[in-house]
A and B are shown apart, each in its own frame.
Chain A
Amino acid sequence: MRRGDKVLIVALLALVLAWLPVRAALERRRGETAIISLNGQMIREIKLDQLKEPLQFTLTTPDGRGYNIVRAEPGRIRVIEANCPEQIDVHQGWISHPGQSIICLPHRLVIRIAGGKGDVDSIIR
């Protein structure tokens, strides 16, 4: 264990510890709005707290070859089925807190719960 190793450990611990309260604060607030964007364009906004019953719809990529089936229930949302190779979005399951997101990279699909640090004023063009 050399001198620099200890510095690195402390730095990493500090980084992680600094993040925890931020994350806890984010998770304490239930998400209200899910913002769905394809290719960087917002295509749909769903007020999860105002949903009375489940809402399910299919999104298709511009070239028509990719699809994701999204299901929104009161307070939460997820991707039920998709035809992307790795199924990372499907495996992720439900998201419900501000700042959480489901991303399907091959289809350039992002479903994000607004209200946290990743809110509208931080979209990069």
Chain B
Amino acid sequence: MSAAKRLVMIAILVALALVLSVVESFIPLAALLPGLAPGVKLGLANIVTLSALFILPWPEVLTIVVVRVALSAALGGGFSAFLFSLTGGLLAWAAMCPLVYRAGKYLSLPAVSVIGALAHNFGQLLVAGLLTHTIAIVYYLPVLVISAAATGMIVGLTTGLLLRALARTGQIAMTDRLAAFVKS
């Protein structure tokens, strides 16, 4: 991929992730699913993180995550929200990177994104615990595990559809790691 195309690709993906964050903030999960732990997010921006791992080298995906989080915080949300997004995004990226490159034979895309969502949620629990100096939030662990599984499935399936479409139309190269996940 040429340097110019790479730059444009990063910009498009950051913008996409931002839009997904905004759209997701309009869905009132707390109202639709009462009783769920507060702070449960769909994590749609992870569609971009996961897809990007197949399109660009992994360090550049880190750039996308950090820039997206920074812009998202600049657009609205306090310091706490920024810390949450950052930890969640970084941990999800860190968990999914090795899996994308090595686990194509053993895991499906939804499984990888579920693990990413688990890392994301765990990161958020960690930040919440550190900010409030208690581990009382551990009470919410099982709910977050279940929600990570649900949202991870959605993200993984969507990512699969996106990547297959991009590969089929020649927008992205069929790299080894992509082939491992997409071709069975």
**In the complex, which residues of chain B have a beta carbon less than 8 angstroms from the beta carbon of A2?**
105-108, 111
**In the complex, which residues of chain B have a beta carbon less than 8 angstroms from the beta carbon of A78?**
none
Residue of B nearest to A40 (CB): B133
Q: Mark B132-145, 1 if CB is under 8 A from A, else 0.
A: 11111111011001
- Known A-B contacts A4-B103, A19-B141, A103-B128; A124 and B135 likewise in contact (beta carbons under 8 Å): yes
At the interface, is chain A mostly helix, strand, loop or mixed?
mixed
* Contact of B149 with A by CB under 8 A: yes
In the bound complex, CA of A92 to CA of B133 (Å): 20
With contacts defined as CB atoms under 8 Å apart, how many contacts are there between chain A and chain B in the complex? Answer: 94
* Contact of A3 with B by CB under 8 A: yes
Q: Mark A21-56, 1 if CB is under 8 A from B, else 0.
A: 001000000000000010110000000000000000
Q: Are A105 and B131 in contact (CB under 8 A)?
A: yes
**In the complex, which residues of chain B have a beta carbon less than 8 angstroms from the beta carbon of A110?**
132-134, 136
Interface residues of B (CB under 8 A from A): 30, 38-39, 78, 80, 103, 105-108, 110-111, 114-115, 128-139, 141-142, 145-146, 149
